[in-house]
Amino acid sequence: MNALLLLNSLEGFFFGSGKAHVVTGVALIILAGLALSLWRMDRRLGKLEEEARTDSH
């Protein structure tokens, strides 16, 4: 395993140390944060659109 780390740190990192799970976790957390913010923005825009619709009548 150490020989692999010396050979190429990316390969050793991914392959030997089990850090792939950490990378997966971080990426999923970022994705969840992005989804949450997009969803909130979507809802707020929905409200604004509703106001604009009643406004113009």
Partner 1 sequence: MKGGWNWFWKGGSILLLAYVIVRGFSTPLQPGLVSATPSQLTIAGQSVILTAVGQPFAETEDLPEAFEVVLRSGDQLIQTEVLEVSPHSVKISVNIPPSMPSRALDAYLFTPASGTLFLGNACFVEEAAKGDVPPAFIAGAPLPKAPELGFSFPYQPNIMESIRNLLWHVPMWFAMFFIMGLGFVASLAQLRTDSIQWDMRAEAAVKTGLVFGLLGLATGSLWARWTWGAWWVSDPQLNGALVTVLLYSGYLILRAAMGDDDRVGRLAAVYNVFAFVMLVILLMVLPRYTESLHPGKDGNPGFNSYDLDNSLRAVFYPAVIGWGALCYWMYTLRLRMNRCTHHLLSR
Binding-site string for partner 1 from residue 26 to residue 45, where x marks contact by CB under 8 A and - marks none:
-xx--x---x--xx-xx--x
Token pair of 6 as six digits: 């010396």
Q: Is 3 in the site for partner 1 (CB under 8 A)?
A: yes
3-state SS class at 46: helix
Q: Is 8 left (phi over 0), alpha (psi -120 to 50) or beta?
A: beta
Q: Is 2 in the site for partner 1 (CB under 8 A)?
A: no
Q: Is 7 in the site for partner 1 (CB under 8 A)?
A: yes
CA 27 to CA 33: how far, in whole Å? 10
Binding-site string for partner 1 from residue 9 to residue 28, where x marks contact by CB under 8 A and - marks none:
-xx--xx----xx-xx--xx
